[in-house]
Structure 1
Amino acid sequence: MVDTTYQVQGMTCGHCVSSVSAEVRAIPGVHDVQVDLAAGRVTVSSDQPLDAELVRAAVDEAGYDLIDD
């Protein structure tokens, strides 16, 4: 199992958390998604490392922006 944390910009409420969680959870191989609203972080547990562009597309679909490190 691999845990990867991403920084997401624009989340401000519980609905934001639900939207991002649902979209990221739909990526094949993802087992769990934890969102820290206050810190703007999303931690994803998956079978193997995920392609960052898949995560970016999922976050974008939810209406938010993945911040590059």
Structure 2
Amino acid sequence: MAETEELGRGGRLRGGAAGELVAAAYAAESAHGPRLARGLSLADLAHAVAIVEGGDLAGADAASLLRGLLELHAIPG
């Protein structure tokens, strides 16, 4: 497999995105971070609860994960 096929490029896409485009996209995405933080934190907590309830994580590991996520969620933003 050619390197460009591995990266999903081909045809008109012969290389990566221009640095300016990457920088602009990063800046735009970062600007939305504060608005998205609470929702993403709640999604992380819900996912962790599902993992624990499903039996894939238990005991001290489950407690540590949930404690850490709750600590992060409590950070004002």
TM-score (norm 1): 0.30
Which structure is richer in relative contact order (CA contacts within 8 A, separation 6 or more)? Answer: 1
Q: Which structure: greater helix fraction?
A: 2
Kindly indicate which of the two structures has a greater share of residues assigned to strand. Answer: 1
